Chains A and B, each alone.
Chain A
Amino acid sequence: GQSLEQPSEVTAVEGAIVQINCTYQTSGFYGLSWYQQHDGGAPTFLSYNGLDGLEETGRFSSFLSRSDSYGYLLLQELQMKDSASYFCAVRRQAGTALIFGKGTTLSVSS
């Protein structure tokens, strides 16, 4: 079957660094994406890893190791507005559809 595992909740304080891990088991793999969703809002795209290594976009970075079926999202200099749910998603076949993890709720406190 297909499965993506990520922690259900993470808490941190403003200014800290947090890492959200994602492990996947899928029948095919064509890249790992991360999406952010604020409460009551729509998911928005954060980052994509098609190849092994680290991708950086401002305060956010994402890492992929295909041999370990593992990736993570790293959020630095946390701000209150980063409180949201974060989803990893895998494109598991040579098409466009994504399979999403169940999401990690990040709570940032002052």
Chain B
Amino acid sequence: NAGVTQTPKFRVLKTGQSMTLLCAQDMNHEYMYWYRQDPGMGLRLIHYSVGEGTTAKGEVPDGYNVSRLKKQNFLLGLESAAPSQTSVYFCASSYSRRLAGATAYEQYFGPGTRLTVT
């Protein structure tokens, strides 16, 4: 299994350009997530999906859109890139299982996409 894969690995955009980041998972996980990671800020949730055809906003959704047309794919779009969106973007997927006496949603992360907006 490849696990969670992300395309592209690196990208440089000019302000105002648009792009789509692709996330794919082959573990048949129901849940998928997009995070951004900035120095000293930890991981911040942008959008997530609890199943095919569903999406929900996270902590920092502004400037991003997502789609989950197929269970295995979760797309993150930037309509008009801004320098503030320079970051490392991680996709993750999870499923529910019993762990430590409760229901856990252990997340599996992709390798990340390094995006620079100039």
Contacts and interface: CB of A to CB of B under 8 A. Distances in A.
Interface of A: 8, 30-31, 33, 35, 41-45, 47-51, 55, 87, 89, 91, 95-103
Interface in B90-118: 90, 92, 94, 96, 99-112
Interface residues of B, number: 32
A45 B97 CA distance: 14
Interface stretch (B19-27, B35-43, B62-70, B75-83): B35-43
Contacts of A47: 100
A34 to B, nearest CB: 11
Contacts, number: 74
Contacts of A35: 107
Interface of B: 31, 33, 35, 40-45, 48, 50, 56, 58-59, 90, 92, 94, 96, 99-112
Given A50-B99, A102-B40, A102-B41, A97 B104 contact: no
B95 to A, nearest CB: 9
